[in-house]
Amino acid sequence: MNNDALEIEQTEKLLVPLRHELLHPIEDMQDENDRQFITALARGLELLRCFTPKHQHLGNQELAQMTGLPKPTITRLTHTLSRLGYIKQVPNSNKFQLSVGVLAFGYSMLSNVAIRSIANQYMKNLADYAGAAVAMATRDRLNMIYLDVVQGKGNMTMRRQVGTYLPIHLSSMGRACLAAMPEDEREFLLNAIRSKHKEDWIKINRDLDKAFKDYQDFGYCFSIGEWHKDVNSVAVPLIHEQHGLLVFNCGGPSFIMNREKLEEDIAPRLLHMVNNIRTEIS
């Protein structure tokens, strides 16, 4: 084995365990012996993840139920996070909400994704042509999260925002992400999806197999009413050395985006768009 091949093999051995990040850190770390892992820090960060657009205001009792941590521990964590400016108390309430300290992290992260400025005009052109939304996303655990969204002219039916989450197994973006990632990482996530959705796994697995075949044959994946009943979309992944695995999609209501239109018109244009972006950033 030459030096280059040996270096690649050694790098891969280092990256494999990092790809298998903890999907449920508080729970998962109970079964691991990692002396480098700071449990208190993990608990604080996991508590911040409890706050979502659906759960904007949460009290200590609710946070204890959501995390499985004792209420005294939660009380110390919310006190600390409040002192640091990451959460604040809702006026005239014993509940908390996220504060501006968290926003700084989000904007710093987005500013690091330089590809957004390159991709935006390409995304706008396709969005205007399709009269639909074009988005860029990356994976966060078992979800995809929008890093950028462009609305096409006249598209008033769907208004997704940066930060919107999509389930990885139901969305076209998630399926394209799974299809394009290294096999060991995909198997790790599929096992996690299987454990989380035991009752629906047979159908989920069948749909994912079809999506993986579409990707192998055509380079894109569909979601036809599986994420939301009347929403269809197609997605194409892009692998970049610096930014990792990103996914672009184009989608909208089924009365605008039927499967035939997606297959014959939008999917080829989305592939062309991603190829143009890949060429410009390489």
The verdict on 249 and 210 lying in the same domain is yes
Residues 140 and 241 in one domain: yes
Is the distance from CB of 138 to CB of 147 less than 8 angstroms?
yes
pLDDT on residue 15: 44
| Residue count of the chain | 282
40 and 129 inside one domain: no
Count: domains in the chain? 2
Among residues 55, 71, 102, the one where a domain terminates is 102
| Spatial distance between the Cα atoms of 100 and 88, rounded to a whole number of angstroms | 9
18 and 96 inside one domain: yes
Domain CATH number, residue 157: 3.30.450.40
pLDDT of residue 243: 76
pLDDT of residue 38 exceeding 90: no
Q: Is residue 214 part of a domain?
A: yes
DSSP 8-state symbol, 24:
S
CB 256 within 8 A of CB 232: no
Could you tell me if residue 2 is inside a domain?
no
Least confident of 23-27, 71-75, 160-164, 193-197: 23-27
At which of 83, 102, 121 does a domain end? Answer: 102
Residue that the structure tokens 């047979």 belong to = 202
Q: Does residue 31 carry a pLDDT above 80?
A: no
Residue 7 confidence (pLDDT): 56
Measured CA to CA, the distance from residue 175 to residue 160 in angstroms comes to 19
Element at 105 (helix H, strand E):
helix 100-112
Residue 151 structure tokens? 């609305």
Residues 54-70: pLDDT tens digits?
Answer: 899 999 999 999 998 99
Question: Residue 119: CA atoms inside 13 Å, Cβ hemisphere, count?
Answer: 26
Across 161-183, average pLDDT: 93
Q: Are residues 70 and 130 in the same domain?
A: no
CA distance 221 to 211: 5
Same structural domain for residues 153 and 66? no
125 and 96 share a domain?
no
**Model pTM above 0.85:** no
> 10 Å Cβ neighbour count for 276?
15
Query: Are 53 and 122 in a shared domain?
Result: no
Q: What is the pLDDT of residue 54?
A: 86
| Secondary element (H or E) of residue 121 | helix 115-130
- Whether residues 161 and 265 share a domain: the answer is yes
Eight-state DSSP code of residue 90: P
Instruction: Count Cβ atoms within 10 A of the Cβ of residue 173 and give its class: 0-12 exposed, 13-18 middle, 19 or more buried.
Output: buried
Please say whether the beta carbons of 146 and 184 come within 8 A.
Answer: no
Residues 85 and 170 in one domain: no
Residues 177, 238: Cα–Cα separation, whole Å: 9
Residue 117: its H or E element: helix 115-130
Task: Summarize pLDDT for 126-153 with one digit per residue, the tens.
Answer: 999 999 999 999 999 999 999 999 998 7
Taking the C-alpha atoms of residue 83 and residue 77, their distance in angstroms, rounded to an integer, is 10
Q: 206 with 82, same domain?
A: no
Tell me whether residue 108 is in a domain. Answer: no
Inside any domain, residue 5: no
Asked whether residue 182 falls in the same domain as residue 257, the answer is: yes
Final residue before a domain boundary, out of 77, 102, 127: 102
- Residue 60 is assigned to a structural domain of this protein: yes
The CATH number of whichever domain residue 87 belongs to comes to 1.10.10.10
Range of the domain at 206: 113-281
